[in-house]
Structure 1
């Protein structure tokens, strides 16, 4: 095996120690070099003259939505990192086992070579002619043939083991590159989340106490109007689905989290983001679902709104960047955004993309 491959093997083994650091949730990474703010970016929002609170509310919605999209990207990178880390660790174990096997095979080959050396390395015909007891030699000829076949098999197994080791090293190197790419994606998403939240907090900090109270009232009014408009469509008149046993467990778990703060990237037990709440609720119900709202939308069975039942997940916005757990009677429980807590709201208070059922 060449020195380059041996280096790969060493690197793969080193990964066993390093990988848990890279993949650890919440691990801080050096932020990439700042890039110029794109045109139209909400990085430095300024309330318009007269502090038009409706425009402020819309601006905050835009900022927090962008943070939610980035949070989904961060969570997706986190999940990939966990899987890639596990694969690298498994490959490293295979490399260790392969090296031990190769060492054993080499020892066996060495013993065979020493035995051949003791016979002088003479071919069987010469050994027959020079033997003091040709009859005894012929009796042992079968054993010699067996030994030669065993040696050939041994050499073949050594070659296969070396090839496997090279493949494991190549695979570990490829997984490491993927893990590095995922780390960069995770760091970029983290930076964007922090930028959007900081911009939103800066905008809110410029408001006086009475303006903040009015802003909160505006948010509630907008949610009420959206819910009323949704209910006015008659969407609930045919909805009478009964929760499944697992759906009831998911609802119980979610409602037990009421009042806990939203924290991006969190999946309990003390705080949650939107998909952290729904994924943990269904994990508690004994039916794990994808970690992110976008993957929940992609992978889980879609159901018609009229067929939805408590425990189903409602996915929001065209980009599937938000998710909530349906409680029944037109209500949801969700982790809304930074600065808010897990709460009950109207299912129609945000633009609905669709409904999915984890235990279909």
Structure 2
């Protein structure tokens, strides 16, 4: 049995290293145990605004994906109806061809010369043969039509399947954007919920103060500006929505997102606009800021993010963002990008 050896004592350098590491660990533990400094009301407000702004891009992408999905689904539904109609035509052709094919099957096994030789009345047989020949031509023509319709049906079903697959892809894309938006909104709500009641009062007061300074608190109940015709009808509708909440993806009647409001307003005036900010920008006739007329659609930041309607006197009506209501703001309250006339 080997002798037990006494453990070797650590050297001075090792003791010093261990002591330093222990001290550092103690310091880090003490620091990690301290709570992060709580953000101020202004910091929370700024971060919430940033999160809401970050949600606008995915919101418009969600709207575009949903719009495309609906369009593809409608096309697929029409294609399915057309396929059903074609199938009915094929069934009817088969019903007509069936008796002819059965007769040909019954007589097709005997050579025509043999049938003539065995016939008790050759003249009658020849008349029947001539009739059968005409029937055969009709049968061949019907078969050709049937084959053509079967090819059309196969192509129709192929196109329908492709549209349904594409619609599903856009549905998946919309679901992903929906999750992205909801994540931003959830984070914003969590920040707001972290405020005390007193801090929330201060936050609300600050927002009301900003609204008053921007001139949004003195909005009229109805439009009384210089617009006329369809533009006035659109603005009358928009003004009737003042105070209704912003809701992403909404087109009314109880809530709206930005392009949902502009689209609904012009729809009330008998003008159909596409769904998204980008689509409305592309569809409208561009006008310069100095040439804007009431009813024109204003785009802020870029051509995909946010829009509203010019009301005159340097102001616009819009559905701002989650947590706010349809309101009137100065045109220059956000970076102006462009304007278009439906």
Q: TM-score, normalised by structure 2?
A: 0.78
Structure 1 spans left out of the alignment, 5+ residues: 1-45, 225-240
Structure 2 residue 202 is the aligned partner of structure 1 residue 211: yes
Structure 2 residue 88 is the aligned partner of structure 1 residue 108: no
* Aligned with 2:256 (options 272, 289, 294): 272
* Aligned with 1:143 (options 122, 131, 139): 131
Structure 2 residue 188 is the aligned partner of structure 1 residue 185: no
* Aligned with 2:40 (options 51, 55, 64): 51
Distance 1:95 1:344 in 2: 51
- What secondary structure, in the 3-state scheme, does the structure 1 residue paired with 2:46 have? helix
Distance 2:130 2:181 in 1: 75
- Output one character per residue of 1:289-339: Cα deviation in whole Å (capped at 9) or x when no partner: 011112111222211122211111001112521110111111111111111
- What secondary structure, in the 3-state scheme, does the structure 2 residue paired with 1:258 have? coil
Segment of structure 1 superposing worse, 130-139 or 106-115: 130-139
Is the Cα–Cα contact under 8 Å of residues 242 and 327 in structure 2 kept in the other structure? yes
Q: CA deviation at 1:86?
A: 0.8
Structure 2 residue 145 is the aligned partner of structure 1 residue 161: no
Structure 2 residue 73 is the aligned partner of structure 1 residue 73: no
Say what the alpha-carbon RMSD is for the aligned residues. Answer: 2.6
Q: CA deviation at 1:121?
A: 4.4
- What secondary structure, in the 3-state scheme, does the structure 1 residue paired with 2:294 have? coil
Q: CA deviation at 1:153?
A: 1.1
Cα separation, partners in 2 of 1:254 and 1:221, compared to 1, 3 Å:
closer
Structure 2 residue 319 is the aligned partner of structure 1 residue 335: yes
Structure 2 residue 186 is the aligned partner of structure 1 residue 198: yes
Distance 1:47 1:95 in 2: 64
Cα separation, partners in 2 of 1:222 and 1:259, compared to 1, 3 Å:
closer
Is the Cα–Cα contact under 8 Å of residues 63 and 200 in structure 1 kept in the other structure? yes
**Which residue of structure 2 aligns with residue 320 of structure 1?**
304
**Which residue of structure 1 aligns with residue 340 of structure 2?**
356
Q: TM-score, normalised by structure 1?
A: 0.75
Segment of structure 1 superposing worse, 102-111 or 139-148: 139-148
**Which residue of structure 2 aligns with residue 92 of structure 1?**
80
- What secondary structure, in the 3-state scheme, does the structure 2 residue paired with 1:348 have? helix
Is the Cα–Cα contact under 8 Å of residues 64 and 276 in structure 2 kept in the other structure? yes
- What secondary structure, in the 3-state scheme, does the structure 2 residue paired with 1:326 have? strand
- What secondary structure, in the 3-state scheme, does the structure 1 residue paired with 2:105 have? helix
Is the Cα–Cα contact under 8 Å of residues 223 and 350 in structure 1 kept in the other structure? no
Is the Cα–Cα contact under 8 Å of residues 251 and 327 in structure 1 kept in the other structure? yes
- What secondary structure, in the 3-state scheme, does the structure 1 residue paired with 2:133 have? helix
Is the Cα–Cα contact under 8 Å of residues 45 and 203 in structure 2 kept in the other structure? no
- Give 1 or 2 for the bigger CA radius of gyration: 2
Is the Cα–Cα contact under 8 Å of residues 246 and 324 in structure 2 kept in the other structure? yes
* Aligned with 1:82 (options 54, 57, 70): 70
